[in-house]
Amino acid sequence: MFSQKGQYFAPYRLVIGAAIGSMILLIILGVVSYFEGLKETLAYETIVSGIKSAVASPNGMVVKKPNVFIKSSTFSKKFFAEVSGLEKDCIILQAPESGVVYKKTRPLEMIVVEKGVAINLYFKCCMQTSGEDCEMLCWISFAEELKSGC
């Protein structure tokens, strides 16, 4: 009737199928991981370009970066000072208290985003008159729209 050879090979076909399925799953997971990392890099570059644009034109015009996806992160005055080349005391952070975005310390030194969220970011810089501690002041707002002007 049936050959014994075919029955002996059946478990090996199952093992080969499982190995191929596992390799395909690993490839899919790698692709997903790559795109998640790319999303984080894009968000970082968007934030950096926003603050640099505001510093480059300190005329009180608001630079808006809409729908920036931010994974759980902490943003401090120190980070923005390093990126912009300004002193830490010349950076003003603003954010609403919400279920996702939290203000830390008084006066506001850092903003914590607890889980992934798409948020509008606003940047504005103004030159200060002589006699001020900072030559230029910059406002960075998470989700709260800034008004133009100095």
pTM above 0.85, yes or no: no
Amino acid residing at 93: L
Predicted confidence pLDDT, tens digits, the chain (150 residues): 555 655 677 778 888 989 999 999 999 998 888 888 888 888 889 889 998 988 888 888 889 999 888 888 888 888 888 888 888 888 888 887 776 666 666 667 888 888 788 888 999 998 887 667 888 888 998 888 888 777
Q: Calculate helix-pair angle for 77-84, 4-56, nearest 10 degrees.
A: 70
- Are 94 and 105 within 8 A, CB to CB? no
What confidence score (pLDDT) does residue 144 get? Answer: 83
Q: What is the pairing mode between strands 63-70 and 110-113?
A: unpaired
CA separation for the pair 22, 27 (Å, rounded) = 9
What confidence score (pLDDT) does residue 131 get? Answer: 64
What confidence score (pLDDT) does residue 100 get? Answer: 65
> Nearest 5°: CA angle at 79, between 99 and 88?
105
> Can you say whether the dihedral through the CA atoms of 90, 95, 97, 103 is positive or negative?
negative
